[in-house]
Amino acid sequence: MSYPRVQRAAADNEFYTAALEQLPGYQQAHATAEQAEQLLRELISPSMTLPSPLSTGIVTGEWLDAVAAHRQALSDLEARRAALIELRDTARATLASLPVLYADIMLGELNAALAPVISTGREICAGLHGASTPREVLDAGTDAVRAWSNLAPVVARYAKVRAAQFAVMAEFSDETQMAKSTINTDRRASDLLVANLDEISPSWRNPARDYNGNLMWSAPWPADDTEYFVWLVTSDARPWVPTLAQLDQQHRDRADPIQGVIATTVIDNPLTTTSPLGAPA
């Protein structure tokens, strides 16, 4: 991952920034890069104060000493500049490597950040009285309309958590592809979003086709972002931000269903720290 990409992701997304700040070595590398850049901006080229002998016709020892000192000062300045540039670039390279080296820590932090978003979404959706579309909300009355309007900032926060997750996963194309179906192209049909997708839609990975080649599968969730979020927090879906280790375990469970039952039992135990959070999508 390049430093500019990390910088852009952090500048636009507070969830990404908060997760990044938890990584080992981040604070030191960030402080070093910032200080080196500041010192580079403060470097000042030395100037000569004595007039040239060409204007006076006299070559003095004082002038020779001044020239020697000036050239030494220029040499020192370039040495400082080179050292600071090297230090800054090394610190930036370190920062760029952290989201890859410690991807599971970042993903775990984002998974934790998802929990309050889901919790808030569920509290708000309780006021919808079962409505899940704008038309149904209008029919449900004033309280439901108010609740629906309160969903917008929560849905926006959910989207930011996902954007931060995808920024991390951008460096792991194989894992991202394995989390999807090679047949089903629905953008939300992914292990990256819902932990129990196999339960929600058992045929999502390998949907059948009719005689015309069309997929015989329909998404259990709505297409609209707000309606999808309502579905997510009110259904049996278990939204999560999985770590790479959890994704790997999930793929292993599919290959070995018996072992998968054991693993799922452990994951679902509320006393474990790896249980997927029920968060909104």
Let me know if residue 257 belongs to a domain.
Answer: yes
The count of structural domains within the chain is 2
Is the same domain home to 90 and 130?
no
Is the same domain home to 97 and 107?
no
**Domain final residue pick, 101, 128, 149:** 101
Q: Is the dihedral of CA 57, 62, 68, 70 positive or negative?
A: negative
**According to the model, what pLDDT value does residue 212 have?**
84
This prediction's pTM: 0.82
Is the same domain home to 129 and 258?
yes
3-state SS, one letter per residue, for the chain = CCHHHHHHHHHHCHHHHHHHCCCCCHHHHHHHHHHHHHHHHHCCCCCCCCCCHHHHCCCCHHHHHHHHHHHHHHHHHHHHHHHHHHHHHHHHHHHHHHHHHCHHHHHHHHHHHHHHHHHHHHHHHHHHCCCCCHHHHHHHCHHHHHHHHCHHHHHHHHHHHHHHHHHHHCCCHHHHHHCECCCCCCCCCECCCECCHHHHCCCCCCCCECCCCCECCCCCCCCCHHHHHHHHHHCCCCECCCCHHHHHHHHHHHHCHHHHHHHHHHHHCCCCCCCCCCCCC
Let me know if residue 67 belongs to a domain.
Answer: yes
**Domain final residue pick, 57, 73, 101:** 101
Q: Buried b vs exposed e over 10-36: b needs ≥16 C-beta within 10 Å?
A: beebebbebbbeebeebeebbebbeeb
Containing domain of residue 91, as a range? 24-101
Is the same domain home to 31 and 119?
no
Let me know if residue 17 belongs to a domain.
Answer: no
**According to the model, what pLDDT value does residue 206 have?**
87
**According to the model, what pLDDT value does residue 249 have?**
94
**According to the model, what pLDDT value does residue 273 have?**
37
Is the same domain home to 167 and 85?
no
Is the same domain home to 220 and 191?
yes
pLDDT in tens, 210-241: 888 888 788 999 999 999 999 999 999 999 99
Query: Environment class of residue 37 by beta-carbon count within 10 Å: exposed (0-12), middle (13-18) or buried (19+)?
Result: middle
Let me know if residue 18 belongs to a domain.
Answer: no
Let me know if residue 14 belongs to a domain.
Answer: no
Q: Which residues are CB-contacts of 66 (< 8 A; sequence separation ≥ 6)?
A: 48, 49, 50
Is the same domain home to 90 and 164?
no
**Domain final residue pick, 101, 129, 158:** 101
Is the same domain home to 68 and 198?
no
pLDDT in tens, 124-152: 999 999 999 999 999 999 999 999 999 99
**According to the model, what pLDDT value does residue 274 have?**
36
Q: Which residues of the chain carry a pLDDT beneath 50? A: 260, 262-281
Which DSSP symbol is given to 57?
S
Let me know if residue 129 belongs to a domain.
Answer: yes
Let me know if residue 139 belongs to a domain.
Answer: yes
**According to the model, what pLDDT value does residue 259 have?**
52
Is the same domain home to 234 and 138?
yes
Let me know if residue 58 belongs to a domain.
Answer: yes
